Amino acid sequence: MARMIPSLTFCLILLISLKFSADVYAQPTFGPSRLLLTTQDWPPYQEYKHGQMQGVALDKVKCALGKMGQPYQLTMTAWSDAQLRVHSGAQHAFFVATQTTERDDYATLSAPIAQQELVWYFGPGVEPKINELSKLNLKFSAKFGSNKWFWLKRNGFNVVKQPRDAKVLLKLLKQREIDIALEDKLVFQRELDTAELPSDFFQSKAHETKPMGVYFSNRFLNKYSGFLSAFNAAVSKCER
């Protein structure tokens, strides 16, 4: 489980160099001698488990880079730091992410490597619907600092609390410190399983589904002009 990572905080970086077998050690055609990737601990998309990095998104990235013969180095850090590293040029790419105008200013999103299904989760006794009245009178939350949290704020929802992850979000919802949570379905389901709660413990309602991919620095892509098309082609050959 992701909890196996000791004290994963903003000041602690888990740096793991992952190498391929002998057939991919050759200099890649489209990229650098080593691609510098960064991500956050966000199970089940990517996590540190049983002594290695794995997850539904990371596995697809590894598959694509393997097909390209592209060696890489992966840094796991806080999500805000991961994006800052790419913005500053310290890293080449971060994942897994949905498209935003802010990110588009300095990076380009790859073909989808996962689909994010966002779901409303309703606390015990809360009517499962969203309307203008509930936006103002009920207490909403999402993972603090995420696009979901800021989207709620921008769109006039009564946002309270600053949960650092889905585990805290679930706890707040169960204890009715918040009325409605907005979270990724796979992420929240994992926390329900960890808490040994049934999938239907909370009433829920689908919000939207968005593709997620790898954001590559525009500076990097300007230097390696064929990389993104090669990566996207490799992704299409990798089964999820």
Q: Give the pLDDT confidence of 65-81 residue by residue, as tens digits.
A: 999 999 999 999 999 99
Greatest distance between any 2 Cα atoms in the chain: 61
Mean pLDDT of 210-224: 97
What is the DSSP secondary structure assignment for residue 91, as one 8-state letter?
Answer: S
Instruction: Work out the pLDDT band at 213, boundaries 50, 70, 90.
Output: very high
Letter string b/e over residues 62-99, b meaning 16 or more CB atoms within 10 A of that residue's CB: bbbbbbbbbbbbbbbbbbebbbebbbeeebbbbbbbbb
* pLDDT of 24 over the 70 cut: no
Instruction: Work out the pLDDT band at 50, boundaries 50, 70, 90.
Output: confident
Give this prediction's pTM: 0.82
Mean per-residue pLDDT over the chain, rounded: 89
Mean pLDDT of 97-112: 96
Cα–Cα distance measured from residue 230 to residue 216, given in angstroms and rounded to the nearest whole number: 13
Closest residue by Cα to residue 155 from 105, 207, 102 = 207
Q: Half-sphere exposure of 23 toward its Cβ, with a 13 Å CA cutoff?
A: 4
Cα–Cα distance measured from residue 161 to residue 141, given in angstroms and rounded to the nearest whole number: 7
Cα–Cα distance measured from residue 157 to residue 146, given in angstroms and rounded to the nearest whole number: 15
Mean pLDDT of 215-228: 97
Q: Which domains does the chain have, with CATH numbers?
A: 35-114+211-236 (3.40.190.10), 124-202 (3.40.190)
Q: In this structure, which amino acid lies at residue 227?
A: F
Handedness of CA 78, 79, 80, 85 (dihedral sign): positive
